[in-house]
């Protein structure tokens, strides 16, 4: 028996298993579209199209919709969003600026009624009777932003927290950001923490190797606030000295600073 608790979330359902990419790519659609509930669609790009197989989020308010991220490679995002948008105006924002999350921007910009914000945009988004709060969380990328949906209690964390390799480019900034994010959740109930990839296997402490397309036994997409608590705690234990550390449901993965002189943002 379930008790009715104080938080009046709009509930939803996550799948037991997502499509990744294969084993037979001819049978896998380019996009898997899952309705968490009527007003929140979660899209996953097929691993057969791009090994990063990122997740995108389409949230509907009364008058407007918000799309988080636009896909990797040559994603054809505009066509699928055009089908799903219910003729509503759409504001497009990004979890961060890496190439596997912004590849559909140019195409989406050509659609009437679609406004594509630059990566790093971090203002509260009012969809009419639904507000999405934004919190800048630099560290994985300078333009990383977390979004909190007051209607479902879902915290969207991009590549900063998900079941996989949490690549950290700016370690001090990441530590500060994850502390801020944890503090942010103290006054906001979190139903799920949802990121933008799955690289972890269902087997604890194990992740799929980079560029794996078919992941038949991958971890669930959803994490919880306890994972954020764990992340902050593990970062603190490193006392300012970045180290790679495999945890049960994700891996902390600091990497040395890379040269962005050519303007490339093609990293995950």
User: Is 118 strand, coil or helix?
Assistant: coil
53 sits near Zn ion (criterion: CB under 5 A): no
* β-pair type (90-93, 65-68): parallel
DSSP letter assigned to residue 127: -
Nearest C-alpha neighbor of 11 from the set 200, 144, 141, 154: 154
- Is 61:127 a contact under the CB 8 Å cutoff? yes
Q: Which range touches Zn ion (CB under 5 A), out of 27-35, 122-130, 155-163, 220-228?
A: 155-163
100 sits near Zn ion (criterion: CB under 5 A): yes
In whole angstroms, the minimum distance from the beta carbon of 90 to Zn ion comes to: 21
Of 50, 53, 98, 165, the one binding Zn ion (CB under 5 A) is 98
In whole angstroms, the minimum distance from the beta carbon of 99 to Zn ion comes to: 8
159 sits near Zn ion (criterion: CB under 5 A): yes
199 sits near Zn ion (criterion: CB under 5 A): no
CB-nearer residue toward Zn ion: 149 or 169: 169
268 sits near Zn ion (criterion: CB under 5 A): yes
Q: For the purposes of burial, counting CB atoms within 10 Å of the CB of 111, is it exposed (0-12), middle (13-18) or buried (19 or more)?
A: middle
User: Is 154 strand, coil or helix?
Assistant: strand
Site string for Zn ion, 114-153 (x = CB under 5 A): ----------------------------------------
The tokens of 260 are what? 């962005």
Residues that bind Zn ion (CB under 5 A): 98, 100, 159, 268
């Amino acid at each position: 028996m379930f008790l009715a608790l104080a938080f009046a979330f709009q509930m939803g359902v996550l799948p037991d298993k997502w499509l990744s990419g294969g084993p037979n790519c001819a049978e896998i659609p380019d996009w898997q579209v899952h309705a968490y509930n009527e007003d929140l669609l979660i899209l996953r790009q097929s691993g057969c199209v791009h090994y990063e197989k990122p997740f995108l989020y389409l949230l509907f308010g009364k008058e407007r919709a918000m799309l988080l991220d636009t896909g990797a490679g040559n994603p054809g995002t505009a066509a699928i969003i055009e089908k799903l948008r219910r003729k509503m105006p759409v504001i497009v924002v990004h979890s961060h600026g890496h190439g596997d999350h912004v590849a559909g921007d140019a195409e989406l910009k050509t659609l009437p009624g679609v406004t594509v914000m630059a990566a790093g945009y971090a203002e509260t988004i009012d969809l009419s009777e639904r507000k999405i709060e934004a919190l800048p969380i630099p560290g994985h990328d300078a333009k990383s932003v977390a979004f909190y949906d007051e209607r479902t209690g879902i915290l969207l964390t991009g590549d900063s927290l998900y079941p996989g390799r949490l690549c950290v480019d700016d370690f001090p900034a990441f530590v500060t950001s994850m502390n801020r994010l944890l503090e942010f959740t103290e006054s906001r109930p979190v139903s799920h923490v949802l990121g933008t990839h799955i690289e972890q296997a269902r087997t604890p402490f194990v992740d799929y190797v980079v560029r794996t397309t078919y992941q038949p036994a991958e971890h669930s997409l959803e994490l919880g606030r306890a994972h954020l608590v764990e992340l902050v705690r593990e970062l603190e234990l490193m006392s300012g000295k970045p180290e790679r550390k495999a945890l049960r449901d994700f891996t902390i993965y600091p990497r040395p600073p890379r040269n962005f002189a050519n303007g490339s943002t093609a990293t995950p």
